Structure 1
């Protein structure tokens, strides 16, 4: 843990002796990792045709054989429906995706990538993967162990998310 985070946890513990501050350790690490990932790809997005949020939506669409709904994307990516809808609107205005009527549910549009969207994602996403690969290369033989631990971490959080919202 970084010194400021450790000191913050210590101070909260001192001022609220009954408060369990142990979650701060895990959350601080997750935030630190997220910030490092963002920092690694930040230069790629300076002046790029897409934002990181737009790439996140386009990547699963790129090789999908069938169009998908916004609801499907939101649940698959763990994003809010409102955020997905807003981002899809921006992508549609720039002719990177199309929305068509869903014959099974007229309230939900079917989303597909356009050729322009495919070209843009084909240019940017491989460079993002390279930046991430450079960061993760230092894991070496520990990579599988880290993936297993992160998978367990995600599963535990997913199983508990409903418990925390009630």
Structure 2
């Protein structure tokens, strides 16, 4: 029986390379302390290499000029003088309550079945006449406006003209 052993050479080389890589990896893990026996190896905190440089440069640094409040850092010149409200004479008038928020008319699709796109409380709604969204009732949709009803009060939303 005359057999050639060259077929055995490639697997032997592969096993040898695998053993070498395994030996190197185990040595590196042991040296780093990751495979230390008897508990975790203490982790040494590296010294800050810039401590000496900070000590030398700190006395030389001048404190930054304070920035005036209200000054725009991207504009040159002094900050504008703070506006002072003139002293009120007479009885204080209560501020008029702000008008309640209104939905924003985004678009109108006017055809046989008209629809409108409205934005309200961060959401977009597609509505039809007679439809409901949130606490609004859609009364009508025309080419230029949408009429809503809320608590018996009509709110008219106009379509913005071109270029607005």
TM-score range (shorter-chain normalised) is under 0.3
Query: Higher relative CO (CA 8 A, sep ≥ 6), structure 1 or 2?
Result: 1
Structure with a larger share of its residues in strand: 2
What is the TM-score with the length of structure 1 in the denominator? 0.20
